[in-house]
Structure 1
Amino acid sequence: MILTYKFNIQKAYWLWIFYFILFLMCTTSYLPKCLVKKHENKNSIINPNLIDTNKTYYLHVLGAGYSLEKRLSATKQLSDVTLTRLIEAIRISKLLPNYIIVSSGYSSLGLESQASVVKRAAVELGIPKQNIEMLTTPSNTSEEVSAFVKRFGTNKNVIVVSDALHLSRAIMLYKKNGIVAISAPTNFKVKQGINDYNGVTLPSISSIDLMNEYLREQLKYWKDSW
């Protein structure tokens, strides 16, 4: 009886040690940054030299939130994430003689769609209306890809613009739907420039959030890959 009690105490002790180490690994910056950086680097930054300028490219800007506050311009109505994706698409469009920017995203309340606000923002930033198409019904990434294929078919040259952490799943979904798309990552969560600190930190909410985003993306990738 005493031996069993001592064994249980010892087992509980090592479990607490294990949980404490796991807590430190997930809440300090080193492990979350390593995992996120590895995932973000799966898709290379678009190389202008590899683009065939004789082709027409469809730049699909995946949605990531917006607000219909009427006193604001369209660019200000977009979430920071969506706006950054749109800016990246516009930057790439400057390298292409022939392009179409495709905005996507619905309105859960039956109001102006996210795709429509992205289109207005693109026009504000100098993109001609005739170079923009909208997909106003999708509510998630899988639906965005399906809507594109249904609308334009599978014989288009597609450049997908999204967050670096999210892009692997979008490219995978395009491949499942018969299109080998080109990745255009933006909104990098981990940057390791010479002026960035990338050492070990104390436990923080930001590190927990980063780990949470990584784990959620992994689960969504697994779900969508079936």
Structure 2
Amino acid sequence: MKEINIKDLQINFEISQILDFINEKKEFEIDIFGTVSEKNSTSKKRPLVFQGQIESNSMFDLPQIIANGFGQNYKPQVNANSCTLIPVGAWQTIIDLNQSRMSYFDHQTDGVEVFEDKVLENIGWHAIPFNINYRQISVFLEASCEGTFVFYDNGMHFNGFVILDDIDDAKEKMTAFVVNEINKKIVNGEIDTNDLDDDQEESLAFFNIKGEMWKS
């Protein structure tokens, strides 16, 4: 999984890529890898860093128009035919832009609370009765699945979001991980299969875990 700390990120693109959008007064977007596209045309697998419109103004030259258009939070730096954005100041805007794209959000204090995909959330929910938490699952997904993890980390404060490239692959791997963790707990004696509560019984049925799987 690609990991990108917004604190250190600089995004570079050619000014020619946004000129038509400026001249035609059209909205556009820029993804985290510096690709410029018409609004709402970027792949859902790619995190966005900017979406909006930059208006031309005959009172200003092009570098000033670009600076005004992106605003202070993006710290645009125009150099000849290229532009560099330093978007750390726009972190909250970036989070909001990617709400519909992210697979889950990792909070500073609460950690991962929910998986946005309903099937992933259902798998995670049924792992809880066996003390397999969302933090364990998210660490596994980040190590095992393709995607992009965008975060802010300055050593004291941290939060971020993950966009998984292949949800079906993630579902399969996540299920296998949880099943393996449950079986290990049973084999190691951490769970008494003769004294399961209703939620644990429901989880075993959900994951189709049967007695012969751990008795052998």
Q: Which has the higher helix share?
A: 1
| TM-score, normalization by structure 1 | 0.21
Q: Which has the higher strand share?
A: 2
| TM-score, normalization by structure 2 | 0.22
